[in-house]
Structure 1
Amino acid sequence: MQAAVKLQTKQEQTIYRILFAISLGHFLNDCMQSVVPALFPILEQSMNLNYTQIGWIAFALNMTSSIMQPVFGIFADKRPLPFLLPIAMCLSLVGIIGLALAPNFYFVLASVLFIGLGSAIFHPEGSRVAYMAAGQKRGLAQSIYQVGGNTGQSMAPLFTAFIFISLGQFGAMWFTLLAAVGIVTLYYVSTWYKQELIVRKQLQKKRSVNEMKVTSKLVFAVALLIFLVFARSWYGAGILNYFQFYLIEAYGVTIKHAQIYVFLFMIAGVFGTFFGGPLADRFGKRNVLLVSMLGSAPFALMLPHVMLGAAALLLVLIGFILQSSFSVTVVYAQELLPGKIGLVSGLIVGLAFGMGALGAVIFGKLADIYSLKFIMLFCSILPLIGILTWLLPSDKQVKEMNNEL
């Protein structure tokens, strides 16, 4: 009995060394993904790509991870495999090498599939590690974990400005060093993860586990949450993939100068992700989700119509407010689907987020048919969809749903 209590107490402790290690792994994983959009301005010129082809590259990367993440998430919930984490980084390493050496558009597509697959494997297992190391501080743990990934994503403009403009496509080969660091880090995490699974298996033998009841209310809430993340991802896809080209065309700035504006949006999102968790603890998760979308809407509507200097300030505000719900969305989904950590990661971080890749393809086609200005105008109305957040169950209702299990 005392041994069981001791194990239970240990489970409630927050393991910061593991949280920071898996956050580092998340950062490195998403750095690998960021190499792809960072290369877009280079590949557009060297391979003479049109906007539709750029959209297909983004689609191949994100759809691979989005389609496969729920599959790996369900599998991870039923049979966790700790050492899939370093294996996932190895797949990304293969993709990075292929990307550095790719001679044509189709080879680029094949290479990004490896990076996408590596990400699809990493995220469900990474989310489980963050959940298991969280103890009683799940909101903080999720923020630490997600900040790593969002920081990695925000590096794309800097990679373009300071690496690929001078080194070209082959500069991607330097990222094999980051992949190597990631493999070592994730091997360390996997060793702890394996031991933790053994401890939790011992505790599960002493507990009765209730089956989750799938109700129409639950299905509606999860579907709506996915749709909201989908809309947020479409906006992010428009800024990350095409805003740089819009700045070059509309304002005549250089490629390097354009990257600064995209970076401001991305790095502001990193800070928003971190502060969103504590704000949700104080004001409620659904409230933060609502303010995140609608609060950014006025600034998003203004962005296509302002002068260049004002655009920088608006991008910071939009990035911070819009991304403040990033980690909150995951925690909210985990409370809707208790015990389904891998599935939640697949649906929210994977499927819903990755489905924003459809936006990249559609935006690319629309840009070729109409204009980049049209794309920015279309993106500007997407945050207004956040009004639908009112239809989600309140935090109190979610707790009541869990108590019914």
Structure 2
Amino acid sequence: MAIGHACVDVYQGAVPALVPFLVAERGLGYVAVSGITLAATLLSSVVQPVFGVLTDRRPLAWLIPVAMTTAGLGIALVGVGETYLLNWLAAALSGLGIAAYHPEAARMARTVSGGSHVGMSWFSVGGNVGFALAPVLVTPIMAVGGLSLTPLLVVPALVGAVITRLAVRSARLVAGGNRLDRAGSDDWPSFLRLSAIMICRSIVFVGLGTFIALYAGQRVGGGTTTGGVALFVLFAAGALGTLLGGRFATRYGRVRTMRTSYAVAVPAIACLVFVPGPAFFGFLALTAIAMSIPFSLHVTLGQDFLPGRVGTAGGMTLGLAVSIGGVATPVLGTIAEHTSLRVALSPLIALVLTGCLMGFALNEPATE
């Protein structure tokens, strides 16, 4: 399941990896490229909770490989269309596939791992690995043949669909079809507070993912190659942070771990935006680790706050509250158009601080 998660989230990471090439080949501005990110995330944000509700009613395991293939097909078509509208629609198709994948995949990962924090962190880190591999996959291919080679990017989806199909079949045998929905009352106030925290994180992480490649080129030089390195650092360090999150949560508790990590992220992102020189990559790695430690914890916290609706919780935590950051990227793009990327990225510091402070309004679920 973790490998399958990596294969599908390659396509979430592929969108920011394509941004420098869309700027170079199509002459798109900051607002236009942030619109592509919006296309990939907005539909996913809206639809993913719907798929979550559906998975609470009946198992939809067959949807996992189908959704993965759809996500890959959308990204494969981004470079095929010559008009901005076709690029936008292709990105939206990919977002639809991503939306359909996550709720049922999160439920199955929870079942197979027995609800373990560490197990869910491994499933979540699969997504981080996919993000990290996206620039490694996309940047060299685009550097050689440009956007006309985006159809090659469907390959991970096809491979992942085969692996995931086998995993789904094995999971049914191992888990015996059991579902870990628990009896108990749903704590919607706590879940909504958690969702607000995740929205802050989403805006920060999606904003960085969209613009960090361009910002790295401005700060360090090197053009698209430097941008690819910056994206790899962002997503690879994020994968490390996600793994650490499961370990820290087991030892110190989820809410305490979440509060501490966001507290560390505040000065880290401030230094990333304002401190000059080669330390840029160090602060980028620290920011990514601190922002990613709570990622898998959000999922298990959400499922425990809504013990009778783990599909809905999975759809919200991995969908609406995660990908909704794409809705804010056109705002950041507009600010950058009229000022600079540094000014546009500065509000992200306040968002991390807001998420940190809201963490003190949460307590561990009673089911722990």
Structure 1 CA distance for aligned equivalents of residues 239 and 174 of structure 2: 29
Q: Which residue of 2 aligns with 1:389?
A: 359
Q: Which residue of 2 aligns with 1:96?
A: 75
Question: Which amino acid in 2 is paired with 1:234?
Answer: I
Identify unmatched segments of 5+ residues in structure 1. Answer: 1-21
Q: Which residue of 1 aligns with 2:315?
A: 346
Q: Which residue of 2 aligns with 1:242?
A: 211
Structure 2 CA distance for aligned equivalents of residues 229 and 155 of structure 1: 23
Question: Which amino acid in 2 is paired with 1:320?
Answer: I
Question: Which amino acid in 2 is paired with 1:88?
Answer: A
CA contact under 8 A between 2:111 and 2:175: conserved in structure 1? Answer: no
1:353-378 superposed Cα distances (whole Å, 9 cap, x missing partner): 01111221211111112221111222
CA contact under 8 A between 1:300 and 1:381: conserved in structure 2? Answer: no
Question: Which amino acid in 1 is paired with 2:136?
Answer: L
Q: Which residue of 2 aligns with 1:167?
A: 145
How much has 1:195 moved relative to structure 2?
Answer: 5.2
Q: Which residue of 2 aligns with 1:213?
A: 185
CA contact under 8 A between 2:216 and 2:226: conserved in structure 1? Answer: no
How much has 1:198 moved relative to structure 2?
Answer: 6.3
What pairs with 1:332-343 in structure 2 (closer than 5 Å)?
332-343=301-312
Question: Which amino acid in 2 is paired with 1:103?
Answer: E
How much has 1:112 moved relative to structure 2?
Answer: 1.1
Q: Which residue of 2 aligns with 1:153?
A: 131
List, as ranges, runs of 4+ consecutive aligned residues in structure 1 with deviation greater than 4 Å.
Answer: 193-199
Structure 2 CA distance for aligned equivalents of residues 172 and 313 of structure 1: 31
Q: Which residue of 2 aligns with 1:47?
A: 26
Identify unmatched segments of 5+ residues in structure 2. Answer: none
Q: Which residue of 2 aligns with 1:314?
A: 283
Q: Which residue of 1 aligns with 2:268?
A: 299
Question: Which amino acid in 2 is paired with 1:124?
Answer: P
How much has 1:168 moved relative to structure 2?
Answer: 0.9
Question: Which amino acid in 2 is paired with 1:289?
Answer: M
Q: Which residue of 2 aligns with 1:286?
A: 255
Q: Which residue of 2 aligns with 1:32?
A: 11
Match of 2:278, SS?
Answer: helix
- Of 213, 222, 230 in structure 1, the residue corresponding to residue 191 of structure 2 is 222
Structure 2 CA distance for aligned equivalents of residues 96 and 300 of structure 1: 29
Normalised TM-score (structure 2): 0.94
1:54-104 superposed Cα distances (whole Å, 9 cap, x missing partner): 111101101111111110011001111211112112312331332241212
How much has 1:308 moved relative to structure 2?
Answer: 2.6
User: Aligned-residue CA RMSD in angstroms?
Assistant: 2.1
Whether 1:356 aligns to 2:325 is yes
What pairs with 1:62-101 in structure 2 (closer than 5 Å)?
62-101=41-80
Q: Which residue of 2 aligns with 1:139?
A: 117
CA contact under 8 A between 1:38 and 1:159: conserved in structure 2? Answer: no
Match of 1:213, SS?
Answer: coil
1:189-240 superposed Cα distances (whole Å, 9 cap, x missing partner): 2323555786438x99xxxx74x435xxx22211111111111111112211
- Say which is worse superposed, 38-47 or 268-277, in terms of deviation: 38-47
Highest CA radius of gyration, 1 or 2?
1
Structure 2 CA distance for aligned equivalents of residues 305 and 174 of structure 1: 38
CA contact under 8 A between 1:273 and 1:325: conserved in structure 2? Answer: yes
CA contact under 8 A between 1:82 and 1:193: conserved in structure 2? Answer: no
1:125-152 superposed Cα distances (whole Å, 9 cap, x missing partner): 11111011012x6112101110110111
Normalised TM-score (structure 1): 0.85
1:5-51 superposed Cα distances (whole Å, 9 cap, x missing partner): xxxxxxxxxxxxxxxxx111110001123222211111112111111
Question: Which amino acid in 2 is paired with 1:277?
Answer: G
Change (3 A) 1:183 1:365: same
CA contact under 8 A between 2:44 and 2:99: conserved in structure 1? Answer: yes
Structure 2 CA distance for aligned equivalents of residues 197 and 306 of structure 1: 50
Question: Which amino acid in 2 is paired with 1:374?
Answer: V
Whether 1:106 aligns to 2:76 is no
Q: Which residue of 1 aligns with 2:200?
A: 231
Structure 2 CA distance for aligned equivalents of residues 380 and 324 of structure 1: 17
CA contact under 8 A between 2:4 and 2:163: conserved in structure 1? Answer: yes
How much has 1:261 moved relative to structure 2?
Answer: 2.3
Q: Which residue of 2 aligns with 1:256?
A: 225
CA contact under 8 A between 1:139 and 1:277: conserved in structure 2? Answer: yes
Change (3 A) 1:233 1:199: closer
CA contact under 8 A between 1:40 and 1:54: conserved in structure 2? Answer: yes
Question: Which amino acid in 2 is paired with 1:192?
Answer: S
Question: Which amino acid in 2 is paired with 1:392?
Answer: L
Whether 1:331 aligns to 2:300 is yes
Structure 2 CA distance for aligned equivalents of residues 197 and 64 of structure 1: 32
